[in-house]
Chain A
Amino acid sequence: MSVRGLRKQYGTFTAVDGIGFEIARGETFALLGPNGAGKSTTVEILEGYRDRDAGEVSVLGVDPQHATLAWKARIGIVLQQTGESGTVTVREQLSHFASLYPHPRDIDEVIAAVGLEAKAKTRIKALSGGQRRRVDVALGVIGRPELLFLDEPTTGFDPEARHQFWELIRSLSREGTTIVLTTHYLDEAAQLSDRAAVIAGGRMLDIGPVDTIGSEQARVPLVRWRDDSGLHEERTHEPARLVAQLVAAQGEPVELEVIRPSLEDVYLELVGSAEAEEATAGAAGAAAEVTA
């Protein structure tokens, strides 16, 4: 999949402003960003749901704006929200959707994979929110897609269901499925994805393997401790040496922590500094206008 110079405008609002990335076959790729960042718009363009205003997009070798049935048979989509009334049972719904695809997965295997064996004969409307979400995921994978889009897949899951879901996604990935995941759970991105892109305000802030995202500075480990003069924080590439120095100087430090910044910390810093920059740029623009 390749995306170059993607732009999308709604009226005067630019939702996506020049995004570009490549995703290799078999990769799990996460799109991260705050609400309204342009993640969903980007994904919906890739899925063929929306037309773009500018840029080049190729998904499985096809421009999704001109999607064919054959192309749709090779992708699976788990949308962000679904609210179907659901008077069919889980099994009926899956077997109907399976019939739409040329090489569907085994229905019972999929039901088992999403952990709904006990609910197979239950009507979808009688399921809990989390169980319905698992039906959505099951419908997304029933057609044995080469490429799977997951838009906020685990919203509303309890922690156990989330871990089960991760296991399911890993097994799909092991089978060679390419996965594009949008999420605002950063642990989910860290758990599942090979690479991630961070989007805010329609622009891409960073892209790369999850453990290299963010500035070099943001990834430097942090040592935190308390002494008589209060709380101290120090960033250092050699935290052990610093701790050893602390011990040598003042004995066992109080509330000692050595923190390796998580994706979440890095992400918050990235998005935070982008927002600050935008505010500065906006203020500068306004000032320039006034001067003019």
Chain B
Amino acid sequence: MSAQTDARAAAGRSGTAFGPLRALRLGAARIVYETRLYFRAGDTVFFTFLFPVVLLGIFSVAFDGLGNVGTNADGSGGISQAAYYLPGMIAAGILLSGVQNLGVDIAVERGDGTLKRLAGTPLPVLSYFIGKMGQVLVTSAAQVVLLLLLARFAFGVQLPADPQHWITFLWVYLLGIVTAAVLGIAISRLPRSGKSASAVIIPPLLILQFISGVYLSFALMPEWLQNIASVFPLKWIAQGMRAALLPESFASAEQGGDWNLVGVATALGIWLVAGLILCRVTFRWIRKDS
């Protein structure tokens, strides 16, 4: 007992046993643990993972009768409803997997004592966040692949063949999902209790999806609503996804008449930095003096 205690104390003093490598190793273990938990929670699997997939299916089937979108005057050309909705559904998936999933998840964990329990263990905060980010990346990547496969094979959507569009797709996706995850962590502070988490976080996100060109064409919105939506990141993620997946001819329907990828990168970059600062300032394992 005492020899062991001494060894332990020595390891603690030298700091090697609790260094960054351990934080990374535990972070990896947390990713596996968190992802397992995610897929065991039936409601998250439906409302964040399958929701965009189901909606893509419904929209593609329901609006099929309206014919193609963006056809020429003689009725030729254009793209199918499924192809038209695909970028929006991917953007919604990014928002749900990042902001909604983590916002609700962490608020619930704060409410039910999970965070308090973890705070009493030698788990580094960094490892906890690696676990959350990893879970978001794994589940969101699976969701996006599922959406692309469904679009391609169930609805015959023609996906881009050139690498340029896929590069756009990749950076918009990565910047979008990391920003969404960070913002999810930041807004997890808002609900006063774990029970109210869904009710506080889901409705504003739903409104955001309606005004950001996910379910309704962004061009249909009055300009003042477009300007409001432009403050938030979802509009930019959706725009970036349209740039990656829609034909060039659709660029003219955007605000300003082009894809404005610089604007996409700038807006998401600002939100990412703001989100990181918010997390740094507001995240605590527990509300210390509540």
Task: Give residues in A with beta carbon < 8 Å to B.
Answer: 10, 47-51, 68-75, 77, 79, 81-85, 87-88, 92, 96-97, 99-103, 139, 143, 146, 175-176
Contacts and interface: CB of A to CB of B under 8 A. Distances in A.
A100 B121 contact: yes
A81 B124 CA distance: 23
Contacts of A48: 120
A12 to B, nearest CB: 14
Nearest to A71: B12
Contacts of B286: 49
B29 A49 contact: no
Band of interface residues on B? 20 to 34
B8 interface: yes
Interface in B77-128: 108, 112-114, 116-117, 119-124
A48 to B, nearest CB: 8
B37 A87 contact: yes
Contacts of B113: 79, 81-84
Nearest to A139: B117
A97 B288 contact: no
Contacts of B36: 88, 92
A49 B116 contact: yes
A230 B289 CA distance: 55
Contacts of B120: 47-49, 72, 75, 77, 79
A172 B1 CA distance: 12
B4 A69 contact: no
Q: Binding site of A, secondary structure by majority: helix, strand, loop or mixed?
A: loop
Contacts of A79: 113, 116-117, 120
Contacts of B8: 73-74, 102-103
Q: Binding site of B, secondary structure by majority: helix, strand, loop or mixed?
A: helix
A102 to B, nearest CB: 6
Residue of A102, A139, A146 with highest tally of chain B CB at under 10 A: A102
A50 B26 CA distance: 26
Residue of A50, A71, A85, A103 with highest tally of chain B CB at under 10 A: A85
Given A85-B112, A87-B41, A88-B37, A49 B1 contact: no
A139 to B, nearest CB: 7
A101 B288 contact: no
A36 B112 CA distance: 22
Contacts of A92: 33, 36
A100 B112 contact: no
B117 A143 contact: no
Nearest to A101: B122
B18 interface: yes
Which 10 A-B pairs give the minimum distances between C-beta atoms?
A70-B12, A87-B40, A77-B120, A73-B122, A69-B122, A72-B122, A69-B18, A83-B112, A82-B113, A100-B121
Interface in B147-181: none
B18 A68 contact: yes
A99 B11 contact: no
B5 to A, nearest CB: 6
Contact of B121 (A68, A81, A143, A146): A143
A71 B13 CA distance: 10
A50 B124 contact: no
Nearest to B25: A99
12 contacts: A10-B289, A49-B120, A50-B288, A68-B18, A69-B124, A75-B120, A77-B117, A83-B113, A87-B37, A88-B33, A97-B121, A102-B8
